[in-house]
Amino acid sequence: MYSGLRQPLGLLFFSLLLTVFVLPLTTRAQSHVVSPAELQNELVNAAQTREMNLEKAQSIFKTEAAKKALESARMNPEQISGAVSTLSDAELARLATRADKLEQDIAAGSLSDRDLLIIILGIAALVLIIVAVR
């Protein structure tokens, strides 16, 4: 008598286990913590932020004073500009922050030509060191 009930009971038990354990996993896998639209927006924002930081960082080396300073130190401005674009996002953000501060100091007139020369050469050397270490 028990042998006839074993197969239907086993099938019922298997169905119960499937319902309890597997189905909730598939429904949880379908609900995302972050929606694809939010993820897309974050990627676009990150790309725009990187582009702005890249422009700020490269603007330091495009001024006439910077070109003269780099030439006097026998550094190639194109090489420096290319090296800036290979920096990581965090390094680029720090360099852009320094570039903003440098532009503010120049606008305020608190830097002499000698100070500007030293700062630009220091930043250029820093960029080349970071790229070389990678």
User: How much is the pLDDT for 5?
Assistant: 60
Position 32 confidence tier, pLDDT thresholds 50, 70, 90: low
User: How much is the pLDDT for 28?
Assistant: 56
The whole-angstrom separation of Cα 11 and Cα 104 is: 76
Residue 52 has pLDDT above 90, yes or no: yes
Position 23 confidence tier, pLDDT thresholds 50, 70, 90: low
The whole-angstrom separation of Cα 62 and Cα 99 is: 12
Position 95 confidence tier, pLDDT thresholds 50, 70, 90: confident
77 by Cβ neighbours in 10 Å (0-12 / 13-18 / 19+) ranks as middle
pTM for the model? 0.61
